[in-house]
């Protein structure tokens, strides 16, 4: 069973599989937005729209 953690982006509530392609982020978007303060996650995942 895959272990999941919450995406490391503060505004994101996606769950990420450990060792996924984007590290501790759910997507490339969150990875690039880690230095920005976003009020709302825009990663396009269903839970974040
Ligand atoms: Zn998100
Ligand atoms: Zn995310």
Q: What is the pLDDT, as a whole number, of residue 48?
A: 86
Domain that holds residue 15: 1-49
Proportion of the chain above pLDDT 90, given as a percent:
63
CA-to-CA dists, residue 1 to 12, 18, 31, 36, 46, angstroms? 23, 11, 25, 33, 22
Task: Measure 3 CA to ligand 2 centroid, in angstroms.
Answer: 16
Confidence category of residue 35, pLDDT binned at 50, 70, 90: confident
Q: How confident is the model over 6-24, as pLDDT tens digits?
A: 999 999 999 999 989 999 9
Ligand 1 centroid from CA 3, angstroms = 18
Based on the structure, what is the number of domains in the chain?
A: 1
24: number of Cβ within 10 Å: 16
Could you tell me the distance, in angstroms and rounded to a whole number, from the CA of residue 5 to the centre of ligand 2?
A: 11
């Amino acid at each position: 069973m895959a272990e999941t953690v919450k995406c490391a982006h503060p505004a994101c509530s996606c769950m990420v599989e450990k060792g996924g392609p984007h590290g501790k982020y759910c997507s490339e978007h969150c990875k690039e937005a880690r230095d920005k303060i976003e009020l709302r996650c825009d990663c396009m995942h269903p839970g974040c729209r």
